Structure formats: structure tokens, C-alpha cells
Amino acid sequence: MNDPWPILKFSEWQDTLATLHMWTQVVGKIRLRQTPLVNHWWNVPLYVSARGLTTSPMPYRDGRVFEIEFDFIDHQLLIECSDGSTTTLALRPQSVADFYAELMSALHGLGIDIKIWTMPVEIPNPIRFEEDTIHASYDAEYANRFWRALVKMDDVLKEFRARFIGKVSPVHFWWGSFDHAVTRFSGKAAPERPGDSLINREAYSHEVISHGWWPGNKDMEAAFYSYTAPEPAGLGDTIKQGKILPAETFYNSEMKEFFLPYDDVRKSNSPEKTLMDFCQTTYEAGANLAGWDRASLER
């Protein structure tokens, strides 16, 4: 039976979303600590798995590798090591402070001791993990819906990625900004962006067109996005020119991004085609206006 794209309403899971954001940052910072820096911080994200989100295997100093996976089917956090040892923690309503303490204790029990920077990133008013008793929600049904939505879009984004033979990122989940994305590169260096952080200077060191999904906030429901950086003149006008599909797509001139509401994709006759049309047409608009060598970058 084909599983439909799940309903996601921000107001119904905003507390769980905020808590999951912090839990994935705890796990993501472990991945950041244990893996060598890859261009554009590609060693940092998590990946969609058959049951949730995973770090993929990470090395430890004693020669073992270990992996941490959020299981949104049985609602547990699974830690597996290459020596056969394993442990699980229940995903349940609990504070970020308790989650952090339990995870570090579980790792210690497996002979893994890791120190991370416990300050969350890319959010307003961050609270250190060990002090955060505010975020403590876990709606299992919505956690499962969130993962099922990721599975659906992950397939489409991977097919979209496969059409490109130039430099392209993996399809990956950024725990800092809490979005699922894939990024194509023209191969050309981009102008420096004055005032950018160290992270953004590395992320946007070359010309990119990025596509992804973001779960929304109080001002906007979940949506797919596309942006070209540096942005070429006239990109937003391509909607009026009828070059962007589907018709529900809109352009935010302040953020310099195209957006397509997740609900419009979910409700369409073919969500997969609708999302692919969005990715393809917004890519073509950006690549054509920016003068990318499409003949040598695409299959």
C-alpha cells in the first residue's frame, strides 16, 4: 500500500518540533566532533534512514566505529558499535537536559566518552543542553509523520540530485537549521560575502543553487524552498514569466527564495511530480540567469 504524504500542521506539533530540534543538535554535535571537516560542512548533517534519522558510522579513538539513529517507528534512540555492543534509549516526553544526560551516560557505558559544545546553534535565545528543562515534548504520532514526510521528499530529492553530474551535495538533514536539502554547484568561486559567519563563508564559497524543505514556524507552514546564491538579477520575475511550476510557488523578495507550501505538494494529484517540477524549474531559472554551463553539468 502506498503511504500518503502525511499531514503536518505547525500548531499541532510545534512543541515536539522544538524539542526534536534540540535532540538532533545533541546527536549532530557528536557527529561534528567525531568526523573530519568536509567542504561546506558536509560532515555535519544527519541522513534519512529506514526508521528515522542516522548519523551514519562515526570513528572512535579506540578503532571502533559507532552509529546513533533516531527510530521514529519504535520511538527509541539506538546506539550501535562495530564490536557488537548496542544500547537503546526510549524517545518519550523528557527535557533536553535529561536527553543529553541519558545519551552521554549511555555512550559512557559503551566505553565512548565525547565532549561537545553544548550551546545550540541557529536559533534565538539558545539554552545549553544541560540546562534546558523547557523543551520537553514528544508526540510520537507527529515524530513519525515528520519522518514519513522526510522519506517521501528524500526519494524525490535524490532523483533530482542524480540528474546533475557537476559537484553536488548529498541529500542531507541539517540539524542546525532543521531542514532537509540538496545543493548543486556551478564550479565557480563566489564573491566573498562581507559580515558572513565562518560557517556561511565556507557554505557559500562557491556558486550554488539549493533546494530543500523546512518544517515551518508560527508565520508560515512547512514549505519547500529554492535559492540561488549569489542571486542573479531578475530571478523573482521568472514567476510572472510563467517559468516556475507549480502555480502555487511564490517568491519572497526579502529572503530571496522561492517557496512551495508542503500542503500544496501533499494535496496534489502527484506529490512526487509536483515537487520535481518545483525543483527543476527553479533550478533552470537560477542556472540560466546566472550563466551556468548547463551542458557540462547535467546528464
Residues 126 and 153 in one domain: no
Residues 56 and 101 in one domain: yes
Residues 163 and 285 in one domain: yes
Q: Residue 70 sits in which domain range?
A: 10-131
Residues 242 and 268 in one domain: yes
Residue ending a domain, among 100, 131, 162, is: 131
Residues 197 and 273 in one domain: yes
Could you tell me if residue 140 is inside a domain? no
Could you tell me if residue 208 is inside a domain? yes
Query: How far is 2 from 205, CA to CA, in rounded Å?
Result: 41
Residues 184 and 263 in one domain: yes
Positive or negative torsion for Cα 71, 74, 77, 78: negative
Query: How far is 61 from 63, CA to CA, in rounded Å?
Result: 5
Residues 195 and 274 in one domain: yes
Domains contained in the chain, number: 2
Residue-wise over 248-257: b if at least 16 C-beta within 10 A, else e?
A: ebebeeeeeb
Could you tell me if residue 136 is inside a domain? no
Residue-wise over 152-161: b if at least 16 C-beta within 10 A, else e?
A: bbbebbeebb
Could you tell me if residue 219 is inside a domain? yes
Could you tell me if residue 159 is inside a domain? yes
Residues 98 and 204 in one domain: no
Residues 169 and 126 in one domain: no
Residues 177 and 260 in one domain: yes
With H, G, I as helix, E, B as strand and everything else as coil, classify residue 260.
strand
Could you tell me if residue 144 is inside a domain? no
Could you tell me if residue 83 is inside a domain? yes
The stretches in the chain having pLDDT less than 70 are 1
Q: What angle do CA 41, 44, 45 make, to 5 degrees?
A: 115
Residue ending a domain, among 131, 162, 188, is: 131
With H, G, I as helix, E, B as strand and everything else as coil, classify residue 25.
helix
DSSP state, residue 298: B
- What length does the chain have? 299
Residue ending a domain, among 83, 102, 131, is: 131
Cα-only R_g, the chain = 20
Residues 161 and 127 in one domain: no
Could you tell me if residue 215 is inside a domain? yes
Residues 185 and 222 in one domain: yes
Which H, E and C letters describe 54-123, residue by residue? ECCCEECCCCCEEEEEEECCCCEEEEEECCCCEEEEECCCCCHHHHHHHHHHHHHHCCCCCCCCCCCCCC
Q: What is the DSSP string of 150-212?
A: HHHHHHHHHHHHHTB-SSB---EEETTTTEEEEEEEEEEEPPP-TT--HHHHHHTSEEEEEEE
